[in-house]
Amino acid sequence: MQAEKQKNWQEQSFSWFAENKSLVLLVTNVLYIVLIGISLISTYSIYNDQEIYNFFAINRAWFGRAALSVLLLVLTPGILGRFGIEIRVSRIITLYRRRLGILVFLLAFTHFFLVGLPKLVGIEPITVLLFQIFGFAALTILFFMFSTSNSFSLKRLGKRWKWLHRLIYIALLFILLHIAFQRVSLWSISATIFLVLEITSFGYAYIKGGAFFNKPN
């Protein structure tokens, strides 16, 4: 009875998200525009309104944290699938995986932009630290994934698209190094747990002869 009830709410949530695609697309598009707007507003306000600029500058790490959180969410269905665990509601994430991937890049880019802007205008000194190099490497991979997260690239690149998008596991490693080289935190521990789960789930699927990847949608 309990299991049946649980299945129902999960099915209902999935159906809602599947039937309301245009609403989800609208909401994600608004989020993308807001994030692009933050880079533009902070560039304007660094010269004209210190208070607005400070608000974004103080919160710049949160954009990185949000990018990491959405990325871990996107990776969850793959891990569950390889372990043979079926949580129906996680299919919602699979359904909007590409949209969420774009969100990961735009959040990470906003984070990078807010960190780089004061250096660019000469308020902060330019530094090249190891943890920043790892962040840059991760962002570069995310950029290639972002720029090919469309149906045209999926068709055009064929098998190469899948390989390109599997670089996400390397990006996760770089992100982990980026945050672990700063401090031990909830974020570095979460990234470590997910990287370990990724590796063990691949091992598990290999031993069990299960599928390694979900189909791209």
Contacts to ligand HEM by CB under 6 A: 60-61, 64-65, 67-68, 71, 108, 111-112, 115, 132, 135-136, 138-139, 142, 175, 178-179, 182-183, 185, 187
Q: What is the DSSP code (8-state) at residue 212?
A: S
Question: At closest approach, how far in Å is the CB of 69 from ligand HEM?
Answer: 8
Q: Which CB, 13 or 45, lies closer to ligand HEM?
A: 45
Amino acid present at 203: G
Least gap, CB of 204 to ligand HEM (angstroms): 26
For Cα atoms 152, 158, 162, give the angle at the middle one, nearest 5 degrees.
100
Tell me the C-alpha to C-alpha distance, in Å, between residue 159 and each of 43, 164, 198, 206. 39, 9, 22, 21
Alpha-carbon gap, residue 70 to 124, rounded angstroms: 29
Least distance to ligand HEM, CB of residue 60, Å: 5
Min CB(93)–ligand HEM separation in Å: 17
Owner of token pair 């994934």 = 145
89 vs 137 by CB, closer to ligand HEM = 137
Q: Which is nearer to ligand HEM, 142 or 205 (CB)?
A: 142
Q: Which is nearer to ligand HEM, 104 or 205 (CB)?
A: 104
- Tell me whether residue 35 or residue 175 sits nearer to ligand HEM (CB atom): 175
The answer to whether 211 and 89 are in contact (CB under 8 A) is: no
**Can you spell out the DSSP letters for 84-123?**
T---GGGHHHHHTHHHHHHHHHHHHHHHHHHHHHHHHTTS
The nearest distance, CB 119 to ligand HEM, in angstroms, is: 9
